[in-house]
Chains A and B, each alone.
With several copies, the nearest count.
Chain A
Amino acid sequence: MALPVEKYLRVAKMPHIWCPGCGHGIVLQSIVRAIHELELDTEKTVIVSGIGCSARAPGYLNFDTLHTTHGRAIAFATGIKLAKPELNVIVITGDGDAAAIGGNHLIHAARRNLDLTVICFNNNIYGMTSGQYSPLTPQGSYATTSPYGMLENPFDLCNLVMGAGGTFAARSTTHHARQLTNIIKEAISHKGFAFVDALSQCPTYFGRRNKLRTPREMMKWFEDRAVPARNWDKMSPEEREGKFPVGVLTKTQAPELTEVYGQLIEQLQQRGGE
């Protein structure tokens, strides 16, 4: 389906600032495509981000957009959604933004099952500040602040969201652009908190330091390691080694916070009216 770019992008702001071959553009396109295919009302959809290369995305999207402080996008979005539950609220965040400084807001929104769609442009690195390690940088990888290789364990963001009680968590990559679009559609449609771990490549800082010389090489890395979720469960720990599951990893139903709160308001106002 051809994408009516002018409808969704602030074309006057293009081309965007991202480096050649940066995966963030592919994730962004997947989001736009998902919005288009779902026929979301562009006047009732708000896009919120924190700070980072990824977080620059809203500036190119022709919606109500909010570029907040580093790590806090979900908290700002919480206010928007609670104040106007009829809006679709989509959060665009980076692995540093969502999982380092913003980790607490992520797990709390997941716990509350607030109807937000959070899409993490996960490139395993702090792109905007030129390549420091993030909580997603694989052990042993190089970054400007891990000159001897990353010493810490990385998060598995979907596991984290599930551990926090999230009702929807999924993963895909820029290589799997089509799947990514579909997953984002499913995430937006999910009533409740939905998290998408969108693996993206930063050729400029992650690739260059880690001998992944081209964007395609980085995407090949995704291609080689991704395992469809339905196969993942059947794999032994040894088979899983060096691989990761893609697809929808958890999807359950639970009361959504703005609905629950709306009911309370209704109840109390009726009671007050009696």
Chain B
Amino acid sequence: MIKNQARLLQGNEAVVEGAIAAGLKFFAGYPITPSTEIAEQCAAKLPAAGGTFIQMEDEIASMAAVCGASLAGAKSMTATSGPGFSLKQENLGFAVKGEIPCVVVNVQRVGPSTGMPTSPAQGDVMQARWGAHGDHEIVALCPSSVEEAFSLTVEAFNIAEEYRTPVILLMDEVIGHLREKVVLPSKEELVVKEREKPSVPQGEYKPFAMKQGNIPGVPPLAAYGEGYRFHVTGLTHGEDGFPTNNPAIAEKQLKRLNEKISSNKEALVKVEEFHLDDAEIVVFAYGATARSARKAVNDARAQGIKAGMLRPVTIWPFAEDALLKVKAKSPKAVIVAEMNLGQMVLPVKRVMGDSVPVVQVNKLAGQLIEPEEILSAVKEAI
């Protein structure tokens, strides 16, 4: 028989396919359920793709090695789950501060602590935003399907490289372990972006310049070994990358660091709007939960209820504008469904204010929320 274009891929596998398609050249990781297949696939596939895989001594070292490799010019990635994600926070903060492009995958399982290693959760959504100390913005993407595990990995690399920032691919165990039929785009269809290189002579290069670069606030990045001989530090630094205690310079740099993300929200924040136009009840859901939500919406529509779904594909920065549009239409309720005790519901409530009731559907013991559970919330809210 002749094969068609499609393949059966596991979510974790699709991440690796996406990463290699995006140009991954370095992976450092430490095994942890339910993300381990990502490391295993990288071990198998990277060397033939001219890249390097290494299993480090722990997650801290993995995150460090990823930063180092990226500064040497390699597109880099690591993958983990909750406990390892907690350990990576300090060096993730370093990547933010040093403006080092890289992709960090967190396939979420039930916490807190060791929790339920093989069961799905969405309990690290707030941690993705706030897990590292100090003020910083973060970009996090949240796939709902194996296809998206592929495409958002490519997107994660593109954002990382374009914005000089770590990007978190925030999966859940359901998507990580799900095998699904997917058609991968051809090389020609793929949009792969590369980091901007400095255009100035070596002596004039300022790795943290305020104004240079294609994207406002994002300075071009040289690679080690190219003769620019630049300095990167986690200390608050000036445009030249050297530490400063001058509050005016510090303030400027810290603002740029944050604004390169926050002021580019329009480009960064992607959502899926499903039957939103006339929706009286809006379900807000992401990741695997959005698949249940989609079924619930369809079922509700079948029963004559005007339901819709807003799915943040970009989970951070927060999809505030899309929600404001929802709010403007004064739906009867927004239902936030998530596999945790209620995390994204907090910003949703903040945006909805006093006028739109926000209802929660939560599940936190390792089971995917079922369409029926959302549907009954929809019915109750109507």
Consider the complex of A and B and state whether they touch directly, i.e. have CB atoms less than 8 Å apart.
yes
A interface residue numbers (CB < 8 A to B): 13, 42-44, 46, 48, 51, 58-59, 62-72, 75-84, 86-87, 100-101, 103-105, 108, 126, 129-130, 132-133, 135, 144-148, 261, 264-265, 268-269, 271-272
| Residue from B36, B54, B66, B230 within 8 A of A64 (CB atoms) | B230
B242 CB contacts on chain A under 8 angstroms: 13, 59
Closest to A77 in B: B68
Cβ–Cβ contact A67 & B232, under 8 A: yes
15 residue pairs bridging A and B, Cβ less than 8 Å apart: A43-B226, A70-B114, A71-B58, A78-B56, A79-B72, A83-B26, A83-B68, A83-B74, A83-B76, A87-B224, A101-B58, A108-B61, A145-B31, A264-B47, A265-B48
Cβ–Cβ contact B26 & A105, under 8 A: no
- Given known contacts A69-B90, A76-B65, A129-B32, is B57 in contact with A100 (CB within 8 Å)? yes
Known A70-B83, A72-B64, A79-B76; 20 more pairs at CB < 8 Å? A43-B227, A43-B229, A44-B225, A58-B231, A59-B243, A64-B230, A67-B232, A67-B234, A68-B94, A69-B114, A72-B61, A72-B91, A82-B65, A100-B57, A101-B57, A104-B57, A105-B61, A108-B56, A145-B43, A271-B48
Say yes or no: is B355 at the interface (Cβ < 8 Å to chain A).
no
Cβ–Cβ contact A42 & B229, under 8 A: yes
B interface residue numbers (CB < 8 A to A): 25-26, 28, 30-33, 36, 39-40, 43-44, 47-48, 50, 52-62, 64-74, 76, 83, 90-91, 94, 113-114, 223-235, 242-243
Cβ–Cβ contact A101 & B30, under 8 A: yes
- The distance in angstroms between the C-alpha atoms of A74 and B69, with both chains bound, is 12
**Interface of B: prevailing SS:** mixed
Cβ–Cβ contact A84 & B73, under 8 A: yes
Query: What's the nearest-Cβ distance from chain B to residue A60, in Å?
Result: 10
Query: What's the nearest-Cβ distance from chain B to residue A74, in Å?
Result: 8
| Residue from A64, A69, A264 within 8 A of B91 (CB atoms) | A69
Query: What's the nearest-Cβ distance from chain A to residue B235, in Å?
Result: 7
- The distance in angstroms between the C-alpha atoms of A126 and B70, with both chains bound, is 28
A81 CB contacts on chain B under 8 angstroms: 68
Closest to A144 in B: B40
B65 CB contacts on chain A under 8 angstroms: 75-76, 78-79, 82
Query: What's the nearest-Cβ distance from chain B to residue A131, in Å?
Result: 9
Query: What's the nearest-Cβ distance from chain A to residue B176, in Å?
Result: 14
Closest to B36 in A: A129
Of all A-B residue pairs in the complex, the 8 with the closest CB atoms, nearest first, are A79-B68, A79-B65, A75-B64, A83-B69, A79-B69, A75-B61, A67-B233, A76-B68
Which of A67, A108, A265, A269 gathers most chain B CB within 10 Å? A67
- The distance in angstroms between the C-alpha atoms of A42 and B57, with both chains bound, is 30
B30 CB contacts on chain A under 8 angstroms: 100-101
- The distance in angstroms between the C-alpha atoms of A203 and B63, with both chains bound, is 32
- Given known contacts A75-B61, A78-B65, A100-B30, is B225 in contact with A86 (CB within 8 Å)? yes
Query: What's the nearest-Cβ distance from chain A to residue B95, in Å?
Result: 10
Query: What's the nearest-Cβ distance from chain A to residue B222, in Å?
Result: 9
Query: What's the nearest-Cβ distance from chain A to residue B65, in Å?
Result: 3
Cβ–Cβ contact B48 & A100, under 8 A: no
Cβ–Cβ contact A261 & B47, under 8 A: yes
Cβ–Cβ contact B64 & A43, under 8 A: no
A265 CB contacts on chain B under 8 angstroms: 47-48, 50, 52
Cβ–Cβ contact B54 & A87, under 8 A: no
Closest to B28 in A: A79
- Given known contacts A72-B91, A82-B69, A268-B48, is B225 in contact with A105 (CB within 8 Å)? no
Cβ–Cβ contact A79 & B57, under 8 A: no
Query: What's the nearest-Cβ distance from chain B to residue A218, in Å?
Result: 22
- Given known contacts A69-B234, A70-B83, A87-B225, is B57 in contact with A135 (CB within 8 Å)? yes
Query: What's the nearest-Cβ distance from chain A to residue B323, in Å?
Result: 36
Closest to A65 in B: B231
B70 CB contacts on chain A under 8 angstroms: 79, 83
B72 CB contacts on chain A under 8 angstroms: 46, 79-80, 83-84, 87
Closest to A13 in B: B242
Cβ–Cβ contact B36 & A130, under 8 A: yes
| Residue from B53, B83, B224 within 8 A of A46 (CB atoms) | B224
- Given known contacts A130-B36, A144-B40, is B61 in contact with A64 (CB within 8 Å)? no
Cβ–Cβ contact A132 & B36, under 8 A: yes
B59 CB contacts on chain A under 8 angstroms: 101
| Residue from A67, A108, A135, A272 within 8 A of B48 (CB atoms) | A272
- The distance in angstroms between the C-alpha atoms of A219 and B43, with both chains bound, is 29
Which of A63, A101, A108, A133 gathers most chain B CB within 10 Å? A101
- The distance in angstroms between the C-alpha atoms of A43 and B225, with both chains bound, is 6
Query: What's the nearest-Cβ distance from chain B to residue A226, in Å?
Result: 27
Closest to B234 in A: A69
Closest to B87 in A: A101
| Residue from B53, B57, B230 within 8 A of A105 (CB atoms) | B57
Cβ–Cβ contact A133 & B55, under 8 A: yes
A148 CB contacts on chain B under 8 angstroms: 47
B64 CB contacts on chain A under 8 angstroms: 68-69, 72, 75-76, 78-79, 105
B55 CB contacts on chain A under 8 angstroms: 132-133, 145
Cβ–Cβ contact A83 & B31, under 8 A: no
Cβ–Cβ contact A82 & B54, under 8 A: yes
Query: What's the nearest-Cβ distance from chain B to residue A263, in Å?
Result: 10
Cβ–Cβ contact B31 & A129, under 8 A: yes
- The distance in angstroms between the C-alpha atoms of A13 and B61, with both chains bound, is 30
B53 CB contacts on chain A under 8 angstroms: 145
